[in-house]
Amino acid sequence: MELKQVLVGCLIEFPPKYFDVINEATNSDTPACNVTEYLEYLDSIGIREEDFPQIQPIMQKRIWDRIGPRSTSAELEKTLERLRKEDHRFHMEGGSWTNNISWVRGYADVMGPIEQTSVLFSEKTTGVSTVQHRYRNALFHLLMTQTSCYRYWGTGLWTDYARELCRRTNDILKYDF
């Protein structure tokens, strides 16, 4: 599957309402912009990172209170299990606008390969120069998998896109840096 096919597929399935909103916004006094453009604008008028309030997902602080920054995945999993036992409301399955949809359960066919590719990237690139073309190429492909679109649609063409991007990332990472 060509990367161009993946990107065109993303545009085809992209919600048409987005394009309606952008078209309406271009005729207003407020220009449409993406997040990067907005953050660059804030920077240009003197607003700095320290001016923003600190935020984090609900209940995430409980994790950081119990583990350190260099904890292993096994330590993290034990901590998560203890937190689940202590409070039935605690979960790490994400959220949604409806606040009742799991972003994990039922999506192993797409989440599994993405998680495995993320782990492989971490293992293979620790200590590697981030300016290397191969590193940046692998990072680009990995970041392309890090969108909720693949999980949201869950099956079909979107799942194929995610698996193809994982395959490409894994191919780049096959050999030592």
Cite the DSSP H helix spans in the chain: 3-13, 16-25, 35-44, 60-66, 73-86, 108-125, 133-145, 148-153, 157-173
Is the pLDDT score of 55 beyond 70?
Answer: yes
CA angle 21, 158, 2 (to 5 degrees): 100
Domain ranges of the chain: 15-55, 58-93, 101-177
Q: What average pLDDT does the segment 146-152 reach?
A: 74
Q: What is the mean pLDDT of the chain?
A: 80
Is the pLDDT score of 3 beyond 70?
Answer: no
pLDDT 10s digits, 89-123 = 887 776 555 556 666 677 777 888 899 999 999 99
Q: Is the Cβ–Cβ distance between 165 and 6 less than 8 Å?
A: yes
Is the pLDDT score of 143 beyond 80?
Answer: yes
